[in-house]
Structure formats: structure tokens, C-alpha cells
Amino acid sequence: MRIAFLMAPEGVEQIELTEPWQAVTDQGHEPVLMSTEPGQIQAFHHLDKADVFPVQVVAREARADTFDGLVLPGGVANPDLLRTDEDAVSFVRDFFDLGRPVAAICHAPWTLVEADVVSGRTLTSWPSLRTDIRNAGGTWVDEEVSVCGHGPNTLVTSRGPDDLKAFCAAFLTEFAKARKDSR
């Protein structure tokens, strides 16, 4: 599977990028780092700068139909910047329009709210997003991982770094099911 990891040029919580990336790689799949700008992204350990990672694809040049799944890592600044970028929001919306699975952790559902794809769905996130999700028509739950739907158009969400193991296992399982169902 080819899986897009979409993030802003800075502000992503490093562990929410690196652990899912490693999980994808360990399963023999192809992770692709996307951003809103070319160059590199600056990751963070909470509020402190961490490592940088090279951007492989820019959102405005990408097509959702060339990927099997989308992972949206969190961090506070990352999804806040993504939700103000029209190309990033459009790319996320395209995944839902195509019925492709999406996984989002921590603050990443802010981008889903902006893409107007939360209504009627059940999801979890960092607790401070619960009102935003409810106001967008979603149902917020306080669970380690939430899987809404099955096969194509599945949404997998998780609260934060403490839930990464469950998040990775769930999205890899659901992405594989969706790929099998689409064949």
C-alpha cells in the first residue's frame, strides 16, 4: 500500500509521525511524506524543536487517487496550519469523496472539521477538540482508538501519543481491509 502522511511545514508532534511511519514501513508498505510546501518539515517534541524530515510531495501537486490511505499526525500547530491551507483541506476531502480510509491522531481532526467530513461520524481526539467535533456534527468519544465505518471510507482516530500502539494497529488493519474491499 502507498500511504500519504500529510502535515504542515512545522508543528507536527514527532512521535505521531515517526511511530505510524515505522509501522507502515514494518508492514512493507510505502509511506510518503506530504506537506503544503516543498523542502522539509520541522517536527517537535511538544513545544521543543526536534528533527527535520524531507518533503516528498507537495499537497497542491498530489492526487488522492494515487494513495491507498491517509495518515494525519497531530501536534497543536500542525493541524491548525493545515486547516488554513486550501490545498491540504481539498486533499483530505478528496480521500472521503473517493471512499479511501483516513487515520487522524491527537489534534489532527481539526483538519477533518475544516474539510467538513466529521458530520455523522464517531471519533476521538485530544480532549480539547471535543466541542469542535460536536459543533461539526460528529460524536466525540473518549477512547484509545475509534474506528468509524468499515472498508472503504473508514475513519480511524486516536487521542494522542499514549495511544499510538493501538492507533497504528487499527489503521493498518482498516487500511488493509479497505484495499481488499476495493479490489
All residues at 6 or more sequence positions from 114 whose CB lies less than 8 Å from its CB, including other chains: 82, 83, 84, 89
- Round to whole Å and give the CA distance between 161 and 175: 20
* 107 in active site: yes
Cβ atoms of 136 and 109 within 8 Å: the answer is: no
Compute the C-alpha angle 125/173/29, nearest 5°: 105
Cβ atoms of 62 and 140 within 8 Å: the answer is: no
From 29, 45, 46, 107, the catalytic residue: 107
Nearest to 155 by CA among 143, 144, 142, 145: 145
Please list the active-site residues.
107
